[in-house]
Structure 1
Amino acid sequence: MIEQVLQFDTELFLKIHLGLSNGFFDWLMPLMRNRFFWSPLYLFIIIFCIKQYKKQGYYIIGMILFTFAMGDLIASRLIKPFIARVRPCNDIDLQNYIIHRVPCGSGLSFPSAHATNHFAIAVFLICVFYSRWKPILPIGLFWATIISFAQVYVGVHYPIDVTVGALLGTTIGLLCAKLFKTLQPDF
């Protein structure tokens, strides 16, 4: 059963990594997964929270950082070393199929920390701001999804890596939002 799932995962990876290959995605997807590309968004969130919500804005920012730290800790420090799955771009069996769109890195693959962290932050922000601004739901989910998809497209993660990362991140985001609302009930 596990072998069949891994085979399906590899086939789906190749369909995305090779089958969707085009010049526009080759330009766009490396940007989507680059943390510096999103720096203006992160800066906007910080400024918006402080300007709009004053003292509570600092609590929101603190919880975003806590949410990120929990996602990274659980995905990168706990699960990845335990599972020890090799990235597709480092997999010897796939070396003739990989298009090197970004540096592969030596890290492990399962789960995707990018997917975990971005879904955690997106879900946290959705839970905190949805009652005030409904468009945050599709925007937040699209943001986390495009970053996760880019991880597969550029060849550094398998689809299951980002799917499990998204589920893990969603769970972390929900729990951190619940903690925030417990600590800040009047928000």
Structure 2
Amino acid sequence: MLEQLLKWDRDTFIYLNGLGTENYDVFWSTITEITTWIPLFLLFVVLFFIKFSRRTAFFQVLGMIALAGFITLATHLTKIWLKRPRPCNEDTINSFIRILKTPTDYSFFSGHASSSFALATMAFLLLRKRVNWVWAFFLWPPLFAYSRIYVGVHYPMDIIVGAVVGTLSGILFYRFYLAATAPDIG
């Protein structure tokens, strides 16, 4: 069963990665950079301070920073423990896939997917009662995550697991935030 799943993962990666063309390389290479998303992170902070008291917004920002630290550590430790090579570093397929990035660390699970889904989930949960269009935050994670397949550095299962871990972590940290601030902050 694991063999079949890994074959599906490899074949699906090759198919999705192969859909890329030079016309879109700059777009997807830009999307995959974390610095591209700094304006979105700043929007989260601005919305917290506009929609909540300064004290509440401060704790929300701290919660988001703690979540980012947690998900980064969890992703890093999992990659070190499982040591799954990235597709771009896999000799059996790297000669016939499109490779736009060549990180040398491990693949499973995607830090881009986990962090984007985690932060979008927590921001959504914190702002959903005060911002009508907060659902739009969920446009970011799939783009960010798919960019990793496009540039040749993650398999679909890396993305799927990263998205699930990130979403669950966002929910967990939101609950931690509520538990820690319930008596004091609304």
User: Shorter-chain TM-score: what band?
Assistant: over 0.9
The structural deviation recorded for 1:100 is 2.3
Q: Distance in 2 between matches of 1:134 and 1:48?
A: 12
Please list, as runs of the form range in 1=range in 2, the aligned pairs for 1:95-174 lying within 5 A after superposition: 95-102=94-101, 104-137=102-135, 139-174=136-171
| TM-score, normalised by the number of residues in structure 2 | 0.92
Amino acid at match of 1:129: L
Corresponding residue SS for 1:5:
helix
Q: Distance in 1 between matches of 2:138 and 2:41?
A: 16
Alignment pair present for 1:22 and 2:21: yes
Identity of aligned residues (%): 25
Corresponding residue SS for 2:34:
coil
Instruction: Provide, for residues 112-137 of structure 1, a one-character-per-residue CA deviation record: whole Å limited to 9, x for no partner.
Output: 01111111101111111112224212
Corresponding residue SS for 1:69:
helix
Cα root mean square deviation, aligned: 1.4
From the superposition, tell whether residues 141 and 67 of structure 1 become closer, same or farther in structure 2 (CA, over 3 Å). Answer: same
From the superposition, tell whether residues 34 and 107 of structure 1 become closer, same or farther in structure 2 (CA, over 3 Å). Answer: same
State the match for 1:36 in structure 2.
35
The structural deviation recorded for 1:25 is 2.7
State the match for 1:64 in structure 2.
64
Unaligned 5+ runs, structure 1 = none
Deviating beyond 3 angstroms after TM superposition, the runs of 4 or more aligned structure 1 residues are none
Amino acid at match of 1:22: T
Unaligned 5+ runs, structure 2 = none
Corresponding residue SS for 1:86:
coil
